[in-house]
């Protein structure tokens, strides 16, 4: 599906996240910080999705699954509010990745599918993967690309020469 097809009349666009949420999420990606963000802004599916992704461990996926499930439910609530009374959002609405505020919800679904798979819940993992694909066929690829983007390499300053003063004792 092209970007033009995704921007069709049945697309749902969530409201923009609060600036404070974005600033806090940009401040750090470690679980300790993310837990503080979701505690302060529990309706942010983006915060829940980032926390779920940050704590994901394929050998112990339960915590990630729980956080992603909350993000999914918060996003579903927000989608229902955004679509409320919008006749264009009936049927099979899309939730385009290209609209940045939708990304928290889509990320929650992605992490939920991944964690369900790690828990051995193959049917549930497949259902969430299919839901993600139906909402936006490009979302999984975009999420994976953003997770595997090369991390900028910090090149330290070149070493300086040492000055050694030799003298007689």
The answer to the question of residue 75 being in a domain is yes
The answer to the question of residue 17 being in a domain is yes
The answer to the question of residue 154 being in a domain is no
In this prediction, residue 153 carries a pLDDT of: 41
* pLDDT tens, the chain, 169 aa long: 444 444 456 899 998 988 889 888 888 789 999 999 999 999 999 999 999 999 999 999 999 999 999 999 999 999 999 887 564 455 678 999 999 999 999 999 999 999 999 999 999 999 999 999 999 999 999 999 987 654 444 444 445 555 556 667 5
In this prediction, residue 103 carries a pLDDT of: 95
Using a cut of 0.85, tell me whether the model's pTM lies above it. Answer: no
Are the beta carbons of 17 and 75 closer than 8 angstroms?
Answer: no
The answer to the question of residue 110 being in a domain is yes
Boundaries of domain holding 115: 3-147
The answer to the question of residue 52 being in a domain is yes
The answer to the question of residue 152 being in a domain is no
Q: Write out pLDDT tens, residues 104-137.
A: 999 999 999 999 999 999 999 999 999 999 999 9
- CATH of residue 132's domain is 1.25.40
Averaged pLDDT score across all residues of the chain: 84
Q: How many domains does the chain have?
A: 1
The answer to the question of residue 31 being in a domain is yes
């Amino acid at each position: 599906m092209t970007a033009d097809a995704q921007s069709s009349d049945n697309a749902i666009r969530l409201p923009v996240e609060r600036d404070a949420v974005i600033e806090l999420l940009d401040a750090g990606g470690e679980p300790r910080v993310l837990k503080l963000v979701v505690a302060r802004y529990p309706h942010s599916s983006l915060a829940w999705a980032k926390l779920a992704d940050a704590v994901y461990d394929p050998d112990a996926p339960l915590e990630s699954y729980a956080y992603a499930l909350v993000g999914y439910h918060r996003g579903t609530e927000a989608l229902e509010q955004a679509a409320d009374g919008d006749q264009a959002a009936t049927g099979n609405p899309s939730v385009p990745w290209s609209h940045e505020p939708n990304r928290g919800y889509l990320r929650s679904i992605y992490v939920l599918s991944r964690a369900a798979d790690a828990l051995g819940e193959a049917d549930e993992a497949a259902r969430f993967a299919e839901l993600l694909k139906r909402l936006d066929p490009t979302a999984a690829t975009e999420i994976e690309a953003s997770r595997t983007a090369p991390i900028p390499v910090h090149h330290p300053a070149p070493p300086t020469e040492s000055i050694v003063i030799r003298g007689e004792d």
